Amino acid sequence: MSKALIIGATGNLTGLTAERLYRASPDSLRVATSRPAGLETLAQRFPGAEVVLADWNDEASLVAAMQGVSRLLVVTPDFFTDENVATSNIISAAKKAGSIELVVRLLSIPPGLTADQLSQEFLDTRCGANLHVIAKPLLDASGLPVCYVNVPAWIMFNLHLFLAAEVKLSRRIAMPAATQANRMWVSEHDIADVMAKILSESVSLHVGREYVLTSPQRYGYSDVAEVFSAVLEEDVTYAQDDEPLRNLMGDAYETLMTYFRHETKAYGAVVHSETLSQLLGRPQQTLHDYIKINREAFQ
């Protein structure tokens, strides 16, 4: 089996994808982190897999990490990534390594969105989609064998990040009114299943493809509160309150709100397709099922 490299494997989606590949073939997995402290974390989580250091901002470390690798997963973190640097380094390193047959790159943008449609203020946040409108043209022009997994939706782990604390504390969803929108929600576990499938199969099936993962239903905050109410069997309400998010994000709050001002409008026209369920051969996880499975996190 070909060897796959997961860069930034201590992350959420990358870690979940690595788990799936590890279960199938530990010897065919190489996981990377940019932090020396992360090496021990990955070694404990994936005993038997190769664990290496690789930094988006250090091309030489990327070249070393890619030696003998044929599959590569790239998921860049919000706020901290300069895609002009990171993606350019990945492209250059992959060409120098010479063994990469497939690059799987996560996107989270409405199909067709480009950087010239966005304000500089929005691009400067380095948050969410604006990372990806910079990276995609670079990868498109690179000549590398790329497959995109595009999720123009909220990933369900945002329930834990943004909503869980207030649901547990006061049985309410507390978010600023300016962030309200009818959003699609996609489970991180479904996304990881898709990425692991792509990385495990013949590259000829996926090179040049863009898989857009959506959900058939949209939810506003009041709708999400109703789902919580049904699962927890207690009333959960939506409150227009910016304090919990402000406390959570600290100095990054205003940056995130700049991102939200675009995100709440730009994703409304995304059309649902059955791509996710077709790829996996099963129904995708619903918001209700996700909250039910993770009920203890919201009790």
pLDDT along the chain (299 residues), means of 10: 90 97 95 94 95 96 97 89 93 98 96 88 79 93 98 97 97 97 98 98 98 98 98 98 96 91 89 97 98 97
Query: Quick one: 4-154+186-215+269-281 is in which CATH superfamily?
Result: NAD(P)-binding Rossmann-like Domain (3.40.50.720)
Contact between 122 and 116 (Cβ < 8 Å):
no
The structure tokens listed for 55 are 């930094």
Supply the pLDDT for residue 224. Answer: 98
**Residue 249, φ and ψ in degrees, nearest 5:** -90, -20
Q: 124: burial class by Cβ within 10 Å (0-12, 13-18, 19+)? A: exposed
Supply the pLDDT for residue 1. Answer: 54
Which residues contact residue 229 at a Cβ distance below 8 angstroms, ignoring those fewer than 6 apart?
235, 236
Supply the pLDDT for residue 23. Answer: 96
Supply the pLDDT for residue 130. Answer: 73
In the chain, which ranges are continuous DSSP H helix? 12-24, 36-45, 59-66, 83-97, 120-123, 129-140, 158, 164-170, 188-200, 221-232, 243-249, 253-266, 275-280, 287-293
pLDDT digits (tens, 9 = 90+) for 69-80: 999 999 998 877
d(CA 242, CA 175): 5
pTM of the entire structure? 0.96
